[in-house]
Amino acid sequence: MKIKSGLVLSGSSGKLTGLVNLGTTNNEVLRFEQQCTDVKEPALATHMLVIMVRGICSNICEPLCYFPGQGASGSQLVPIINSVISAVEIHGFRIKAMVADGASCNRKLFKILSCSSGQHYMEHPLDEERKIFFFSYHIYSKLCATIGRILAGTANQDILR
């Protein structure tokens, strides 16, 4: 997700808590001090990758980790996603699907993980008898109930055609 500079993310609550703005005079003093000491500001993050765990048949909905940065390619996301899958599965959860927005890096990630442009799933890296399905966020809200029924094995067969 794209983030706006000046917003502060609380590490303890995971919520945006305020604006970083010391006022015009203080901002100018800080900028002057940085110029005098030749301190270069680190690059500010413009994007935030947020990995969340959400239950299909439970109320679990928790952010798992945050990665601030300046954007990432699909190939840069692959090791992050594989690490998250391993960590979540080790703690007893079973990953059934991944949901992301339609950004090009996410589409590329799905294409890399599926080893094909026509598949909408990947072989599970820890259990070759399972699959992890891919869904784009823009259709997620419409399919949420259907996805739950499909994965629970109770969906109407007409939906699956």
Identify the residue with better confidence: 48 or 137: 48
Query: 95 with 145, same domain?
Result: yes
The count of structural domains within the chain is: 2
Query: 18 with 69, same domain?
Result: no
pLDDT value at position 130? 92
How does the average pLDDT of the chain come out, rounded?
75
pLDDT in tens, 35-52: 787 766 656 677 788 888
Query: 75 with 103, same domain?
Result: yes
pLDDT in tens, 90-135: 998 899 998 888 888 888 888 888 887 678 889 998 998 999 998 8
**Over residues 3-14, mean pLDDT:** 68
Query: 152 with 126, same domain?
Result: yes
- The position carrying tokens 């900028």 is 31
pLDDT value at position 7? 63
Query: 36 with 101, same domain?
Result: no
Query: 86 with 27, same domain?
Result: no
Q: pLDDT confidence of 76, banded at 50, 70, 90?
A: confident
Instruction: Kindly tell me the sign of the dihedral angle through the C-alpha atoms of 61, 55, 139, 121.
Output: positive
Q: What's the CA gap between 26 and 6, in Å, rounded?
A: 15
Query: 8 with 62, same domain?
Result: no
Query: 39 with 57, same domain?
Result: no
Give φ, ψ of 16 to 5 degrees.
-70, 125
Query: 56 with 88, same domain?
Result: yes
pLDDT value at position 55? 87
Query: 38 with 56, same domain?
Result: no
pLDDT value at position 132? 92
Q: pLDDT confidence of 159, banded at 50, 70, 90?
A: very low
pLDDT value at position 117? 63
Q: pLDDT confidence of 20, banded at 50, 70, 90?
A: very low
Does residue 26 have a pLDDT over 60?
no
Query: 13 with 85, same domain?
Result: no
For 78, 116, 133, 147, the CA distances from 105, given in Å and listed in that order, are 10, 16, 17, 23
Query: 33 with 70, same domain?
Result: no
Query: Domain range holding 21?
Result: 1-44
